[in-house]
Amino acid sequence: MATMDLVIGMVFLSQTVIGMLGNVSLLYHYLFLYFTKCRLRSTDLILMHLNIANILILLSKGIPETMAALGLKVFFGDIGCKLLFYLHKVSRDMSMGSTCLLSVFQAITISPMDSKWAELKVKAPKYLGTTNVFCWVMTMILNIRVPLAISAKWSNRNNTNKRDYGYCSAVPQNKTTHIFYVPMVLFCDIFFVGLMLWASGSMVFMLYKHKQQVRHLHKTVSPKSPPESRATQSILLLVSTFVSLCTLSSIIHIVLSFLKNHSLWLVNMSTLITGCFPMVSPYILLSRDSRVPRPHCDWTSKTKSPDLLRDM
């Protein structure tokens, strides 16, 4: 085994292990809150879906890439490869959709009651569960063509233009499909990233406006931020991390899509960047959630929000 392959394998392994530990810890955190009858926040439902999507990304990409880089024989077969790549693409898009939904929902939540979002602010929590399910269904439908381009590395298909991913291979689609599919994927990515940036900008503006009002009303400002402000700051950090990594990943994907003889180094770099958000996001959320050390629940009241119960 070459030294470089060993290094790449260890990097993928470290990323996968660290990411899985963080995501499993976050999932345990939400399950603990739920089963101890803690009053869950509305955003927790979105974060649970994001958490599941991140776990699927690490399982479908991190583990096979690690095994391939370390020289371990991976025999997935055609069906296994198709399922693996399909699962990865669906979970990756769901991660983006959940992050976008999270930022938009929080922007609506912290908007003033006299704003144009007032009516939506009241109704939005009731439809979170339905919206999350809709996102899963849409990502599954939009990526239905992914398995058609994937085959096992040792498949009987004779095609000199196959792209080798170490454990599976991809057969480039015809020009017509390529012309229509690539712009559609780019449009969806740009749309969701643009929506995140708009929501983030709105949140920054509302937080700044609120801070100015507080300073005007009170000469002394409490050093501790209110819960809504802390939650908004956490989401802004999460979104900014996602947008930065997504932009870098998209640039590499565009380069790869137009290169006939693609570099394995670029493929490894793309995979590494793709796994960065699932790896760091649970630690961002856990480090900024005040309920992690000791859940701050009203133990005398064992009731959950009726709206949230309907969503779950």
- Domain interval for residue 84: 3-294+303-311
Summarised one tens digit per residue, pLDDT across range 103-121 is 999 888 888 877 777 778 8
73-77, 263-267, 292-296: which has the minimum mean pLDDT?
Answer: 292-296
Highest mean pLDDT among 98-107, 111-120, 147-156, 229-238: 98-107
Q: How many angstroms separate the Cα of 222 from the Cα of each of 85, 281, 287?
A: 50, 29, 21
On the CB side of 304, CA atoms within 13 Å amount to: 17
Residue 294: pLDDT over 70 = no
Tell me the C-alpha distance between 213 and 223, whole Å.
Answer: 15
Residue with tokens 């096979």: 64
Q: Bridge partners of 150?
A: 170
Mean pLDDT of the 147-156 span: 73
Summarised one tens digit per residue, pLDDT across range 194-230 is 999 999 888 888 887 767 766 655 544 444 455 667 7
- Which residues, 6 or more positions from 291, have their beta carbon under 8 angstroms from its beta carbon? 29, 33, 38, 297
Residue type, 198: W
**CA-closest candidate to residue 308, choices 47, 119, 115, 98:** 47
Are 168 and 81 contacting, i.e. CB atoms less than 8 angstroms apart? yes
pTM: 0.82
31: phi then psi, degrees, rounded to nearest 5: -65, -35
62-68 contact pairs (CB < 8 A, 24+): 62/12, 62/15, 62/16, 62/19, 62/20, 62/275, 63/16, 64/166, 64/167, 64/168, 65/12, 65/166, 65/167, 65/268, 65/271, 66/9, 66/12, 66/13, 66/16, 67/167, 68/165, 68/166, 68/167
* pLDDT for res 223: 43
* pLDDT for res 43: 87
Coil, helix or strand for 174? Answer: coil
Higher pLDDT, 269 or 159: 269
Summarised one tens digit per residue, pLDDT across range 8-53 is 889 999 999 999 999 999 999 888 888 887 777 888 889 999 999 9
Q: Bridge partners of 169?
A: 151, 164
What are the residue ranges of helices labelled H in 110-146? 118-123, 128-142
Are 304 and 39 contacting, i.e. CB atoms less than 8 angstroms apart? yes
Tell me the C-alpha distance between 174 and 95, whole Å.
Answer: 29
Q: How far apart are the first and last CA of the chain?
A: 49
Total number of domains in the chain: 1
Q: What is the dihedral of CA 89, 91, 95, 97, to 10 degrees?
A: 70
Residue 173: pLDDT over 80 = no
Question: For the domain that residue 177 is a member of, what is the CATH number?
Answer: 1.20.1070.10
